[in-house]
Amino acid sequence: MQHAVQIEGLTKEFTRRDGTRIRAIDDAAITIDPGEFIVLLGPSGCGKTTLLRTIAGLENPDSGRISIDGRDVFASHNRTLVPPEQRDLSMMFQSYALWPHMTVRNNVRYPLETRRRPRIARKEMDRRALEALETVGIGELSGQYPGQLSGGQQQRTALARALVNGSPVILFDEPLSNVDAQVREQLRAELLATQRRLGFTAIFVTHDQNEAMELATRIAVLDQGKVQQVGTPAEIYRNPATAYVATFIGTTNEISGTWDPSQSGFSTDAGPIRSSSLTPETASARILWRPEDGKLESSRPSGPNTFEVTVTKTLFLGLHTEYVVRWGKASARIWSSEHHRFCPGDQAWLSVSPEDVMVFPGDGAQPTEAEAAEDTPPQSSAVLSEAAG
């Protein structure tokens, strides 16, 4: 099968006005199949937009290769550089970029008017523009001007314009960030349904992990220009490749430890901890587990990773209650569907299965960011970390 988009060894540096060089994309590689919905996810400044713009041809990389549908559109080794309008793709921007003096229909028709070949008769352009507008459910607004539309309707107009060319690949740069939460959720579902129905390949930039989880067939997590992991939402969540991915997606409890062969586990401030994952190559390790993987009980369970704890805080969060617990110098968050089982001050037993304990190489330094978090003793090496997105 021909790949829809293939990126290899892609690098792009910028020079800031003070002369500092920024590597916005650092040796990135991703292979995308036709019909996939790929989400580029990462915090602000990690290089998502730059990567998208290099695929579109709006930014020229320094080195590497990009091919679309088997054809190189950029290749540094033989200086291939295909201009944006000759790449077989469409792009939808955060700002929608609608022409205010043109009707909705003419905005949507615009890409058909400006394309070089093959030329299309005006009547056919109008028919396709209307069809695209009907696809996104606003055929009746074709005679309106953008200023007369709601945010959600403007977003649909921009989507129709991205669809009108029938491009096999559509790039989305945070297109849902300008509408309120409720409309956003609705538009997200509509976009996904449209993509599934029409079958185009979508490459979608966001810093919102919920949005990524909902839309993506696969997520590419970026950090400082590097692609840290590409995987399905479940793979990224359950088997993160790096501590960065584990802490960026979802919520984690974290503690540092050192490998102790005599215990076949890690020695930590929370007590000995065992994990089913491979031991890190370095002696020091970052040990992480998710709040929903901890179990709180009133009596001592059998098995490893069992700790006697004090409940210090409870927080009702609808689907689950968050229990903050403390033992020795360590603290952790536990999410449980048993809402009123424990109160602050209660003694309880915490257990975490070794299968749910993730281990990554530590750098010897203690994470500090979350140590100042409420309910975490300042001298503790056990930290709570919350997703950044």
Ligand X SMILES: Nc1ncnc2c1ncn2[C@@H]1O[C@H](COP(=O)(O)OP(=O)(O)OP(=O)(O)O)[C@@H](O)[C@H]1O
Q: Give contact residues for ligand X (rule: CB under 6 A).
A: 14, 16, 22, 24, 42, 44-50, 207
- Among residues 35 and 389, whose Cβ is nearest to ligand X? 389
Closest contact distance (angstroms) between CB of 94 and ligand X is 8
- Among residues 52 and 108, whose Cβ is nearest to ligand X? 52
Cβ-based burial of 67 (10 A; exposed 0-12, middle 13-18, buried ≥19): buried
Closest contact distance (angstroms) between CB of 17 and ligand X is 8
- The Cα 209–Cα 249 span in angstroms is 7
Q: Cβ of 79: how many Cβ atoms within 10 Å?
A: 7
Closest contact distance (angstroms) between CB of 24 and ligand X is 4
Of 356, 357, 386, 382, the residue nearest 367 (C-alpha): 382
- Among residues 210 and 347, whose Cβ is nearest to ligand X? 210
SS (H, E, C) 219-244: EEEEECCEEEEEECHHHHHHCCCCHH
Burial 290-321 (b: 16+ CB within 10 A, else e): bbbbbbbeeeeeeebbbbebebbebeeeeebb
Closest contact distance (angstroms) between CB of 207 and ligand X is 5
Give kind and range of the element (H or E) at residue 3: none
Closest contact distance (angstroms) between CB of 145 and ligand X is 29
- Among residues 205 and 358, whose Cβ is nearest to ligand X? 205
Cβ-based burial of 45 (10 A; exposed 0-12, middle 13-18, buried ≥19): middle
For the sheet containing 80-81, what is the strand order?
A: 21-32, 5-15, 63-68, 71-75, 80-81
Closest contact distance (angstroms) between CB of 57 and ligand X is 15
- Among residues 18 and 281, whose Cβ is nearest to ligand X? 18
Closest contact distance (angstroms) between CB of 13 and ligand X is 9
- Among residues 29 and 102, whose Cβ is nearest to ligand X? 29
- The Cα 233–Cα 389 span in angstroms is 15
- Among residues 16 and 197, whose Cβ is nearest to ligand X? 16
